[in-house]
Amino acid sequence: MEILLLLGAPFAGGIVLAVWGHRRFAPELNSGMSLLTFLAACVLTARIIADGPILAWNRAFFVDPFNVFLVALTAFVAFTTSLFSRPYMRIEAHTGRLSPNRLRLYHSMFQLFTFTMLLALLTNNVGILWVAMEAATLTTVLLVSLYRTPASLEAAWKYFILCSVGIAQALFGTILLYFAAEKVLGSGGTALLWTDLNQVKGQLEPTVMSLAFVFLLVGYGTKVGLAPLHNWLPDAHAEGPTPISAVLSGLLLNVALYAVVRAKVLVEGALGNNFAGNLMMGFGLLSVVIAAFLLSRQRDIKRLFAYSSIEHMGLMTFAFGMGGALATFAGLLHMTVHSLTKSAIFFAVGHAAQKSGTQVMADIRGLIESNPTIGWGLMLGSLAILGMPPFGVFASEFMLLTAAMHQEPWATPFLLAALGVAFAAIFGKVQPMVFGKASVERLPHPPALIPVFVHLAIVLLLGLYMPPYLAEWYRQAAALIG
Amino acid sequence: MPSLPLWSQLINLLAALLLLLAFAMLTQRRVLSLIRLFAAQGFVLALSTLVVAYTTNQPDLYMSVAVTFGLKVLALPWFLHWLIRKLNVQWDIETVINIPVQMLVGIVLVIFAFNLAAPISEIAGTITKSTLGIAIASILLSFLMMIARRKAVSQVIGFLAMENGLFFAATSATYGMPLVVELGILFDVLVGTLVFGVFFFQIRETFESLDIHHLEKLKDR
Amino acid sequence: MKQASGIIFQVLQSVLVVLIAPLVLGWVNQCRAWLQNRSGPGVWQPYRVLNKLFHKDAVLAHDASLLFRSTPYILFGCMWLAVGIVPVLATSLPFAPAADVIALVGLFALARVFVSLAGMDIGTSFGTLGARREMMIGFLAEPAMLMTLFTASLISHSTSLPTIVDTLGHGELVIYPSMAFAAVAFVMVLLAENARIPIDNPSTHLELTMIHEAMILEYSARHLALVEWATSLKLTAYITIGFAIFVPWGIAQAGDWEGLLIAFAVLLVKLALAGAGLALLETVSAKMRIFRAPEFLGTAFMLATLGMLIHFLLEA
Amino acid sequence: MDFSSFRPVEAAVTLSVIWIGLGGAGLAFARAPRVVTDWVFPAGAAVALALALTGLWAMNAPVSTAVLPAGLPDLPFHVRVDPLSGFFLLLLGGVSFGISLFSAGYFRGSGDSSVGLMSLQYHVFLASMGFVLIADDAYLFMVVWESMALSSYFLVTAEHHSEQNRKAGFIYLLVAHLGAISILLSFGVLHGGHGDYTFDALRRAELSSFWATIAFVLAFFGFGAKAGMLPLHVWLPEAHPAAPSPVSALMSGVMLKTAIYGMVRVIYDLIGGIRWEWGLTVLLFGAATSLFGVLFALMQHDLKRLLAYHSVENIGIILIGIGLSMVFLGSGHPVAAVLGLIAGLYHTLNHAVFKGLLFLGAGAILKSTGLRNLNEMGGLIRYLPHTALYFLIGALAISALPPLNGFVSEWLTFQASLQAPLLESSVVRSLVPIVAAVLALSGALTGMCFVKVYGVAFLGQHRHELAETPREASRWERAGMLWLAAACFALGLLPVFMIGQLNNVSQALIKAGLPDEAMASGWLWLVPTSSAQASYSPIVFLLVIAAVFALTYLVVRQVYHGRLRRSDPWDCGFPAQTSRMEDTADGFGQPIRQIFAPVYLIHREIPRADDPRPVFKQEIEDRHWNAIYSPIARFAEFLSGHIGKVQQGRISVYLLYSFLTLIALLVFAQ
């Protein structure tokens, strides 16, 4: 029942906002719909904690500890982003950069995007997972080019072409997966259900599965933004409106990585050896190193944090690739704290960019002086994302590095160098923006920065004191992934 | 039940025809003829799905034949023609790499696709197992076509050709995906093309041309 | 009873050495005069100078602070303590365990710091010039001094002077080549620390060439007397440390009175010889340019380190 | 965390939590700065004193451990107080008591609202240092270790308007972060992979000698980066002067010591099985750091930068002590190792005390005259007599002169190095005395440097016209400085008490203590191993000098007279004596530049002959910048330049990347 409400609310919201998206109350309506979704997610999570994984709608939807925490996270971040986008969009409309019917497009696509995310997470059918991912791309591509500037058009075009081609590879991977499954489970609907695949993964044909994993990794890897396939990500995140960048960075990348991890579970079972894990580790490490070194070349603040997302997705992929209870636990925790921190940073960045009228970091100075909440939000957010201890990101990096030092010691020098260069680059650029003389003016509408500090508080809490049931949750999920 | 080898020969013929069309699209110079080749490829795909549906008498395959025919042979080509007329882009295609080199690379890709598909086709149970290699080859060829094109429209057509290749792989390896997935994919392809159309108008508006080299400003040199 | 005689010995040694210190300086100047075939002002001249100075009125600069006025007394106290610790006449005096060789070097460093600060207190360029050079000589000499003392203490496995004297002096006669190197290095350090000829000319009046004199340029009357007395005490202390380490024979045990008399006689002879040797050295060599001092003290350090390495290699 | 049995660990945790509470209170009262300076800082001082007593109590009490409710799921925060952390708690509490008193007076004047935020960061900084000393598992240690770096970063960039402060803060946090990551990796090596990070688990993990060396190297350079060891010291002279003076006192005095604590804890306690090669590395790095630090201190004319370079030098001396003890421990001589460790730890306490005092003195000068450049000071003894006296005590202590505490620890280090004959390998045996000579050289150079500082700053004529006559430090500030000066005297005159406490610490760490003959020699005589070997009694020193001082003063006054008159100083016939004729701080360092020329990178601007207003400018630069740091920065820039080519804008190239990855993987997958 909760699944119906959970999927129904955003879908209905999308339809309703398509009609009334341009009205004055549209942002409030948008937040209301997201709130509804978040409540449904909470109810579903409570139910999963109470009585374990459930299969609903004759096994079309499957919810286990692994994807339920992602569902809760997605719903929560979508809700807080909608809260943030209320004043943000009003200011954009006020400054005339967005016409009312573009707002309508934005609001309806926002809700549909949430719908596709939740569908991708909840579905048990690998095919539907692919369809949901493709739909996610479709809903966000128009939003990236919302401002109609040449740069945003270019970003949207590249985003669309690269992701579509990537998703096409994933489709072929799914076909091969279906092909291998059909041998064991017989044709008909069940061959694509992840739960059935999970049971018989031992008997699947190894050569086909390894080919399938290659296509799936390249396909969904493009959506995750792994190193050689990452080129669309910085442009898409930098040129789109900030709520979209926050949602893309915070949620879309997680869901894509969720799909890759689901595939890895099957392939690992089929192959027995660590072929999938090694591939993921290789891609993860490559992404961390390349993103770290590209950070120091950035002049646009949103591109800077887009590359930081690539780096963190690389860390997560490396963690999941390494396997073992400790590393997987670190990967899951990193997924949560990264999406919370990165969305908080994008909220602060959004308002900072609006205040100074530009996204070029050299022109933003003295944020703490002119608006302490934005200044401290950005400062604490970037310190959190850089893995400074009191925050949760450090907890996951701590577990990751110590596990890596024990299982894959060869990788630690690269990680050390990359983390150091990333720290120098990001902090070197954020510090002058936050400190110094103020060069920015007041905002027409008061910025809604409660979400920023709520997110950072949660991340701080996760760093210092992990509630036992949350820890139990992660441990079950880690056991599932293995 | 007609003797199996006859029908499989027919399917192999259609597969070969599909590969030929993919090659033809790779080397085509003019947009309009490119769209006609794409429509022909859609037709061949529908025909081969029809043959597979008939021989393995799977009722839901007929439904996907109808949708494929409707979408890939009628709707999309008409839409692309309408677009070309609307944006009056009557010009031939400049390519990034010249045609002979593309031919050579195409052949290498086909060889690579065949030895890649060899292990799979032995264990494939379907009658059309040998065509899997051709399906992979057509996917890689259309991928190459997307890389080597300068114009946005031809890039989109390359993408749609890749979709055709994927569908052909689905039918040849596994007699088509379950219906709900099949419909979802077709729906996505349709919406994708519509969005591409919207983009063409936007790019046309801002850049007055559909050439890709306008879209190269965002870089971290 | 032994404790009482120990204290008496201690007081006796301190008072005695303090009294004969100006005599040593007078003797050295007298020897130098003879060597330069001058008749010289006589051996008791320093006492006459001290008496004259104590009678005069003290003249202070306008912005001389409390530090400037208290430094002579601190200097005198430090030197009195140094002489009290070094086994000049008798070993194992009550004050002996109060400091070992390293603490003595520290004591001389304390004195040097206070004199330099007093020099800078006046605020004229000469004071700071002298202070800067004195500290330079100080930091160059200290490693060399410590290396010579290390060589001695590595042989006797202890840094406290009475133990060194017992092992080297009262033990059987053994020739230590490493001690020879250390002795030469020690003499060079002695010359540098006490502002003798090769490094600094004690009797010069050229402000720009002075080192030690420049710092005490502003002192007068009783302050100058105490500083001069302390300088002679420092010279005597250095010479007696040299005796204790390199020529330890003839130093009495605390408590036996007749040993004390012999020790006093032997001390006078040794001081006479040392004074003559010092005068000879000074007349033979000329004052070096200030920036040749680092090489001079560098060689002293090399010699001392060489001595120590020889001790490790030859176990001698 | 039960409070039934009140043991040192509960006391330490409660006190640190109170500190955080005080920080919060400070922030709450941000609107009323007077409340913050009159109540919050003194309360912080009281907590510091209580922490010092807890430390003292912990050194003599049995080891006490506890588990805090917070922390990762299967790893709650473990805390433990044993004699080693007890000693450092004493250090932290004692020194921060004086500094907090001083801050109460120091921040009174500023009056703007940043005092509230400053007090929050200040007390969080203290609390995180407190937790670092009692942390008993790798995770809590790392969390509080970098919270310490973070809170001190915000203190360093308190006045963030100046570009130089921001740059200093950035370098500081970057080096601290890299150091922390290498410490984390060293814990990673030690923790053996089953996810149990408590220090007991790390102790039990037995490692092959190769991995033990890797763990040692990582820990040594990680903690070395934080302590300001030679190659990684560049942040220290930038960051410490940038912070307000009480904070730089805290950072120089106490924060560097937490790095030493970390080093001793990880190397002695967690890794164990120390090899003498490690000791030799620590020894050589220590010697190089101490000599380098003092040589560069002599060249500075900014008082706070000079003191920061001296912190580098004293860290070198501490490392020499610890290096000696590791060499002896590695070659099987526990008694000599104990002597080296006690010398190192004793110097840690001494340095915390006199460096804190000197920075507070510099703060008092800065507050009353607004000057930091030595060349503009001069003759301050007349305006600030109390500060001058306390600064003199601090200067004598840091120059290791006998009656005070600096000399005791240096003397102990010399005694430890004289145990060299015990070692077998002749190379090390002869190397140890040479290191002792380097120690003597750097001690003497420190003496010269502080004669320069004291002479130029306090004595002589005033070099710079001041707007208004400087006021003496306020009551609170003098109290803070008095406490630290008294501590210098106490630690100098009564070393035997503290050596006894340190003996407990070495008993806990190396399971060996000083020979009982050394302990039995009463409070008057300090005897390292045996009285025949060496003994030193600071009280006799002080008494005899004072007695002779009084005796001569009275005798001269009675026998002769005390008449005195003032006149102009001897000016060698030159009529006008101006203050420009005095020697400046750079002038004082000229012989050093002459002798140690290759060490420095000197940029000199000598004015042209016909220049109407000739100004001689000279800048001494640290060679490490263009030997190590800018090559690394250039290489990173070069690398990112090439990697930047990956993102070069053309969509067909991006498609090509994805195509090639696909093909490569397919080939690889077969």
Which of A141-155, A287-301, B108-122 comes out lowest in average pLDDT? B108-122
Cβ within 8 Å, pair A412-D138: no
Of D429, D541, D577, the CB nearest to C81: D541
CB < 8 Å to A148, chain B: 202, 206
Residue A448 has pLDDT above 80, yes or no: no
Q: Chain C residue closest to D589 (CA)?
A: C132
Please report the pLDDT score of residue D359 as a whole number: 93
Residues D34-86 have pLDDT tens digits of 887 888 889 999 999 999 999 998 888 888 888 888 777 677 888 999 899 99
Chains that touch A (3 or more CB pairs under 8 A): B, D
Q: State how far residue C14 is from chain D, nearest Cα, in angstroms.
A: 11
Q: Which residues of C touch D441 (CB under 8 A)?
A: 139, 142-143
Neighbours of A149 (CB within 10 A): 13
Residue A472 pLDDT: 80
Task: Please name every residue paired with D604 in a beta bridge, in sequence order, or none if there are none.
Answer: D618
Whole-number pLDDT of residue D655: 87
Q: What ipTM goes with this model?
A: 0.84
Q: Does D154 touch chain A (CB under 8 A)?
A: no
Higher pLDDT, B1 or D81: D81
Sign of torsion over alpha carbons A412, A415, A419, A425: positive
Chain C nearest CA to D325, separation (Å): 19
Q: What is the largest CA-CA distance in chain A?
A: 70
Q: Which residues touch B88 (CB under 8 Å, ≥6 apart)?
A: none
Q: Are the Cβ atoms of A192 and B169 closer than 8 angstroms?
A: no
Cross-chain Cβ contact D581/C59 below 8 Å: no
Q: How wide is the angle at C-alpha A22 spanned by C-alphas A18 and A28, nearest 5°?
A: 90
pLDDT of C255 above 80: no
Of A161-170, A196-205, D547-556, where does mean pLDDT reach its minimum? A196-205
Q: Are D161 and A416 inside 8 Å of each other by CB?
A: no
Least confident of D107-116, D252-261, D398-407: D107-116
- pLDDT at residue C187 is higher than 90: yes
D548 with C126: Cβ contact below 8 A: no
SS3 content of chain B, % helix, strand, coil (to 5): 80, 5, 20
pLDDT at residue D343, rounded to an integer: 92
* Nearest chain B residue to D668, by CA: B116
Q: From B219, which residue of chain A is nearest by alpha-carbon distance?
A: A235
Q: Tell me if residue C61 falls in helix, strand or coil.
A: strand
CB contact under 8 A, D71 and A368: no
Of residues D476 and C1, which shows the higher confidence score?
D476
CA distance B147 to chain D (A): 5
Tell if the CB–CB gap between D396 and C95 is shorter than 8 Å: no
What was the pLDDT predicted at A87? 86
CB pairs under 8 A between A and D: 173
Contact D464, D376 (CB under 8 A): yes
In sequence order, what DSSP letters do the residues of A42-74 get, joined into one string?
HHHHHHHHHH--EEETTTTEEE-HHHHHHHHHH
Question: Hey, of D17, D185, D653, which one would you mutate to test binding to chain A, going by the most A CBs within 10 A of its CB?
Answer: D185
The 3-state DSSP class for residue A448 equals coil
Domain count, chain B: 1
Query: Do the chains contact at D461 and C84, CB–CB below 8 Å?
Result: no
Interface-testing mutation among C75, C85, C120, with chain D (most D C-beta atoms within 10 A): C120
First-last CA distance in chain C: 39
CA dihedral A357, A362, A368, A374 (to 10 degrees): 50
pLDDT band of residue A444 (cuts 50, 70, 90) is low
Which residues on chain D are in Cβ contact (under 8 Å) with C122?
Answer: 460, 569
Q: Which structural domain range is residue D637 located in?
A: 623-669
* Domain interval for residue A112: 2-481
CA nearest D657 in B: which residue?
B147
Q: For residue B216, which residues of chain D lie inside 8 Å, CB to CB? A: 649-651
What pLDDT does residue B1 have? 43
- Residue A186 pLDDT > 80, yes or no? no
Q: Rounded to the nearest 10 degrees, what angle do helices D495-510 and D83-106 cross at? A: 130
- Chain-wide mean pLDDT for chain C? 86
Q: How far apart are CA D27 and CA D113, in angstroms?
A: 10
Reply yes or no on whether the pLDDT at A279 is more than 60: yes
Q: CA distances (Å), C101 to each of B23, C86, D407, D411, D535, in order?
A: 97, 9, 13, 10, 10
User: Does D352 score more than 90 pLDDT?
Assistant: yes
Does the beta carbon of C163 lie under 8 angstroms from any beta carbon of chain D? yes
Partner residue opposite C117 with nearest CB, options D382, D459, D461? D459
State yes or no: pLDDT of A317 exceeds 90.
yes
Interface B–D counts its CB contacts (< 8 A) at 36
> Is D2's pLDDT higher than 60?
no
D41-46 long-range contacts (CB < 8 A, ≥24 apart) are D41/D100, D41/D101, D41/D103, D41/D104, D41/D107, D41/D119, D42/D100, D42/D101, D42/D104, D42/D476, D44/D19, D44/D96, D44/D100, D44/D119, D44/D122, D44/D123, D44/D126, D45/D96, D45/D97, D45/D100, D45/D101, D45/D104
| pLDDT tier at B75, thresholds 50, 70, 90 | confident
Least CB–CB distance from D645: residue in B116, B147, B221? B221
Q: What is the pLDDT of residue D105?
A: 87
What are the E-state strand segments in chain C?
A: 58-61
- In a domain, residue D649? The reply is yes
Average pLDDT over residues A111-133: 90
Task: Quote the CA–CA distance of A306 and D93 in Å, as a whole number.
Answer: 45
**The pLDDT of residue A133 is above 50:** yes
CB atoms under 10 Å from CB of B186, counted, come to: 18
Chains B and D touch (3+ CB pairs under 8 A): yes
Distance, in Å, from the CA atom of D126 to the CA atom of D120, rounded to the nearest integer, reads: 10
Comparing CA positions, the residue from B136, B104, B100 lying closest to residue B117 is: B136
Domain count, chain D: 1
pLDDT of res. C60: 86
DSSP symbol at D564: E
The answer to whether A154 contacts B214, with C-beta atoms less than 8 Å apart, is yes
Domain coverage including residue B187 = 4-215
Does residue C2 register a pLDDT over 70?
no
Q: Which residue has the higher pLDDT, B131 or B72?
A: B72
In chain D, % of residues over pLDDT 70: 96
pLDDT tens digits along D138-161: 888 998 999 999 999 999 888 878
Cβ neighbours of D645 in B, within 8 Å: 221
Please answer whether residues C69 and C227 qualify as being in contact, where contact means their C-beta atoms are separated by less than 8 angstroms.
no
User: Please, which residues bridge with residue D526 across strands?
Assistant: D536
Distances (CA, A) of D365 to D239, D353, D370, D473: 19, 19, 7, 8
- CA of D494, closest CA in chain C: separation in Å? 13
Over residues D108-141, the pLDDT tens digits come to 866 566 788 888 999 999 999 999 999 998 888 9
- Annotate B72-95 with b (16+ C-beta within 10 A) or e (fewer): bbeebbebbeebbeebebeeebeb
Find chains touching chain C: ≥3 CB pairs under 8 Å: D
Substitution target in D75, D148, D170 with the highest count of A β-carbons within 10 Å is: D170
Has residue B47 got a pLDDT over 60? yes
* pLDDT of A283: 92
Domains held by chain A: number: 1
Question: Does residue C46 surpass a pLDDT of 50?
Answer: yes
Contact D583 C100 (CB under 8 A): no
pLDDT score, position D112: 67
Q: Do B146 and D648 touch (CB under 8 A)?
A: no
Judge whether D89 and D350 are in contact, CB under 8 Å. no
Contact D459 C65 (CB under 8 A): yes
D544 and C73: CB-CB below 8 Å? no
Whole-Å CA distances, D353 to D350, D403, D541:
5, 15, 21
Across chain D, what does the average pLDDT equal? 86
Higher pLDDT, D272 or A291: A291
Band (pLDDT 50/70/90 cuts) for residue B2 is: very low
Mean pLDDT of C18-38: 91
The alpha carbon torsion through D127, D129, D133, D139 (nearest 10 deg) reads: 90
